[in-house]
């Protein structure tokens, strides 16, 4: 079975559409005063697209903002424990 690969034009259009979506989401996040920059917002969208629970992700972001010490605790936590 052969798999059709996207042409460079399709790839460019897809990339452009993805950027436009992030731009729109960023404008919404500014209106809502989320404090997320485009890079962080893009990472959050990617995590959600890959199955992360959006509510859990929001809770983690709030916790990291509320308690800067939690960043140090998280950095010492082994990856296998987080999963």
d(C-alpha 69, C-alpha 14), whole Å: 40
Residue 54 makes CB contacts below 8 A (sequence gap 6+) with: 48
Instruction: Quickly count: other Cβ atoms within 10 Å of residue 22's Cβ.
Output: 17
Residue 66 makes CB contacts below 8 A (sequence gap 6+) with: none
Predicted confidence pLDDT, tens digits, the chain (83 residues): 666 676 787 788 888 899 999 999 999 999 999 999 999 999 999 999 999 999 999 999 999 888 767 555 556 655 554 54
């Amino acid at each position: 079975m052969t798999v059709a690969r996207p042409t460079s034009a399709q790839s460019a259009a897809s990339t452009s559409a993805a950027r436009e979506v992030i731009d729109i989401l960023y404008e919404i996040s500014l209106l809502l005063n989320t404090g997320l920059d485009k890079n962080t917002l893009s990472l959050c969208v990617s995590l959600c697209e890959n199955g992360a629970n959006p509510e859990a992700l929001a809770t983690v972001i709030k916790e990291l903002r509320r308690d800067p010490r939690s960043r140090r605790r998280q950095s010492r936590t082994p990856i296998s424990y987080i999963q």
